[in-house]
Structure 1
Amino acid sequence: MSASHVTPTDHLYVYRNVWEGEDTEYVLAPADGWIVSISSNEERIARWDSSITVPDHRIVIMHTCSFFTIFIHLGELAPDVMAHTGEISPDSKWYSIRSTPVPVKAGEPIAKMGLTGFDWSVHDTDTILDFVIPDHYEGENWKIHTVDPFQFFEEPLKSDLLSKVVREIEPRAGKIDYDIEGTIAGNWFQDGTVGYRVLEGGGGKYWEKHLTIAYDWIDPTKVRISIGLDTGINDEQDCNVCFGNYAVRGNGPDPATIGTESGLIKYELMSRTGLNNVEIGNTSLGTFLVQHLGNRTIRIEVIAGKLPDEVIGFSDASLIYRR
């Protein structure tokens, strides 16, 4: 959870070190299947050398009618893939319905790794995660079908992959569905907006209307409040690793225990520090007010630079969020 990913992300992040010389590393198909869509975005520029640019591809592989792998931010397509699709210009898409799917076998190259990292997710449409209102994710309809990819690998590859995973707590691939009916835990959407659909009028930074009250992706015992709106908190100055995702002083109260009977709750938003920014930092950033109003509705307000004892209650700047 950070920046435009206000709610927990449905994908894992895979990183490598900066390469030397010609980049010859390819991402391989994890299982037999068919490439059914490729999106080509604007080229990416290496942050360590602006003369290095690589393509930016999102590739969807269908393994069965209900089981898919998605890769994002892959680089140059493998020759066999390119031979099938032809060149895909930036800001355009290739779909198998316009020609035929690209068959791939497990272990075959599909594209270069790109820069130093890419996104990876696996989705099973026979699985539906525990979101209170799944329809709110129609704009990213694969999200509610996200599954742990590691369970599908055989040894010794499974253990090799898990040895590189930062999170040590099960499930090792993490969790994204923290919604608990009747509590403040989970994902919320600003009143008047509808989840992952584009804003009225089209386009827009829809994630600015998102809010998540949940837990850290590495250490789920740590409470996190991830806020899309402009809170007035100066992250660059006071928490340059937060990107809108804050720890709370005292690590509580647990959002899973807060419901309509709890009344007004005051969280003191804190910076984050330590390995992978998991620990609660020493910088107080402001107060987050939240109250569960019932009927899948909460009222919230962020008061930057104020301690909880300095805040009496909601002002006219408070906002309504719904499931």
Structure 2
Amino acid sequence: MKAAACPTPHSSNSIASIFISSALVFMFLLFTWSCSEGNPDTEKEEETGEIEEMEETGYNYPEGKIFFEYPPMDLNGVSFYEPMGSMGVFPQDHGGFIHFEYGVDEPTTPVYAMADGVIVELGKSGDDFFMTVKYSTTISTKLGHVGRFADFILNQTNPVIEGSPLITEIEVKSGQIIGYISSFSALDIGVHDLDLESSKSFCYPELAFFENLYAADIFDYYEDSNPVKAEFLNKNIRVLEPYGGKNDYDVKGTISGNWYIKDKFEGKDIFTNYFAIGYHHIYSQRIAIADGLPRHDPDTEDTNSYSNSWIKSNSPKPEEVDIAFGMVKYELVAPVDLKRNDDGTYELNSLDGVDDQVPRGVFLMQMVDAETMQLEFIADKTVMEVEEFTGNQRVYVRNPDYE
């Protein structure tokens, strides 16, 4: 697989799209999706997805990009759509429909096939189920927090057991009911397009989870003439393009993007190996960080840490902090949540006063070379009280195999 080039701060590279046979399907080792803010104490990022070869079924998949005709669920039952990119181990590859049947014992809101296609995977995670539907030679969707599958699916498969996803070949028609939402707060959906790898800004694509590498903006797969797109956009909580969110912020030679801790790296499924700096998935103008190292102590009442924070005053932009910039001192402040209305809908909160918060502390960050960054968090200080690294800084690399 050809790796995508990592862009520089002032240029971008283009690499020809790769060809992957329509005989490939996706399989998760474990599926643990959530549409929360990526709290490392309450959730684990989705596990790597493996590609498994499968004999041709004879289904005549359309070539390349197609457009969806239906939403994955009835939009009347949706409070809002949360786009992909929630900051975590990697900014998440999927978005989610926050719905009104949260906590209901057996929700009745249906899940639809978005176009003609084939269900190629069924799985279970906790009390919920997930499924993968393949729509073309390059495009599939992963649906998470499905409450139950439609009867016609259950009649054609063995029982779905947690940790043992079933590879299936069940054809579906556009708009057909394929399941029902769960009582979890959201129906998660990730759109994955195999043609996108060359356009994603991961310095080392081979280190990305499969779903992150091919994550697509769902709104790019509805035609403007389809009234579903306008209705769907009206449910979207994000107001700036790309409306479906973004999950790739690597910029070569700068602090921007995803980092792996050097020397102590224990595998890419371990949250504490990561640090990321990019932009918030909803308040998309705000610089956000996710630090996997600090862990909440369950014996204390303090559940708030700096792990997920915004940058006070929102400057300088991480894609501008390179070797020549030297050390940057960022004050961290708490992110702003959404405002919940009495009718169960949500809206953006005002950002007035967000930069007036007392900082959680200071992050010192500095590029050592094009592949290496050092950082240190100093709690309960301001930039005026911090001069330099104390000797307790951590060292991160773009590639844990980098020497």
One fold, TM greater than 0.5?
Answer: yes
How big is the shift at 1:305?
A: 1.6
Q: What does residue 170 of structure 2 align with?
A: 102
Q: What does residue 256 of structure 2 align with?
A: 185
**Structure number with higher helix proportion:** 1
SS of corresponding position for 1:143: helix
Aligned residues: 296
Query: In the alignment, does 2:114 pair up with 1:41?
Result: no
| TM-score with structure 1 setting the length | 0.83
Query: In the alignment, does 2:343 pair up with 1:268?
Result: no
Deviations 1:36-61, CA, capped at 9 Å, x for gaps: 11121221xxxxxxxxxxxx112111
- CA–CA distance in structure 2, aligned partners of residues 57 and 194 of structure 1: 32
Q: Which amino acid aligns with 2:230?
A: S
Query: In the alignment, does 2:226 pair up with 1:132?
Result: no
Deviations 1:231-283, CA, capped at 9 Å, x for gaps: 7899x97885x772211221111111100011111101112236456733613
- Stretches of structure 1 lacking an aligned partner (at least 5 in a row): 44-55, 199-205
How big is the shift at 1:74?
A: 0.9
Q: What does residue 313 of structure 2 align with?
A: 250
Contact 2:202 2:248 in 1 (8 A): yes
- CA–CA distance in structure 2, aligned partners of residues 238 and 253 of structure 1: 30
- CA–CA distance in structure 2, aligned partners of residues 30 and 196 of structure 1: 36
Q: What does residue 150 of structure 1 align with?
A: 219
Q: What does residue 285 of structure 1 align with?
A: 360
Q: Percent of counterpart pairs with the same letter? A: 29
- CA–CA distance in structure 2, aligned partners of residues 196 and 127 of structure 1: 25
**Structure number with higher strand proportion:** 1
SS of corresponding position for 1:57: strand
- CA–CA distance in structure 1, aligned partners of residues 100 and 251 of structure 2: 39
Q: 1:219 to 1:23 in 2, by over 3 A?
A: closer
How big is the shift at 1:142?
A: 2.5
Q: Which amino acid aligns with 2:220?
A: Q
Q: What does residue 162 of structure 2 align with?
A: 90
- Stretches of structure 2 lacking an aligned partner (at least 5 in a row): 1-36, 41-87, 339-347, 399-403
Q: What does residue 9 of structure 1 align with?
A: 92
Contact 1:215 1:224 in 2 (8 A): yes
Q: Which of 4, 7, 18 pairs up with 2:101?
A: 18
Q: 1:132 to 1:305 in 2, by over 3 A?
A: same
Q: Which amino acid aligns with 1:225?
A: I
Q: What does residue 51 of structure 1 align with?
A: none
SS of corresponding position for 1:273: coil
How big is the shift at 1:71?
A: 0.7
SS of corresponding position for 2:213: helix
How big is the shift at 1:82?
A: 0.8
Q: 1:168 to 1:233 in 2, by over 3 A?
A: farther
Q: Which amino acid aligns with 1:314?
A: F
Contact 1:26 1:110 in 2 (8 A): yes
Q: 1:243 to 1:17 in 2, by over 3 A?
A: farther
RMSD: 2.6
Contact 1:188 1:321 in 2 (8 A): yes
Q: What does residue 306 of structure 1 align with?
A: 381
| TM-score with structure 2 setting the length | 0.68
Q: 1:239 to 1:253 in 2, by over 3 A?
A: farther
Query: In the alignment, does 2:151 pair up with 1:79?
Result: yes
Q: 1:66 to 1:148 in 2, by over 3 A?
A: same
Q: What does residue 259 of structure 1 align with?
A: 322
How big is the shift at 1:23?
A: 2.5
SS of corresponding position for 1:262: coil
How big is the shift at 1:195?
A: 9.8
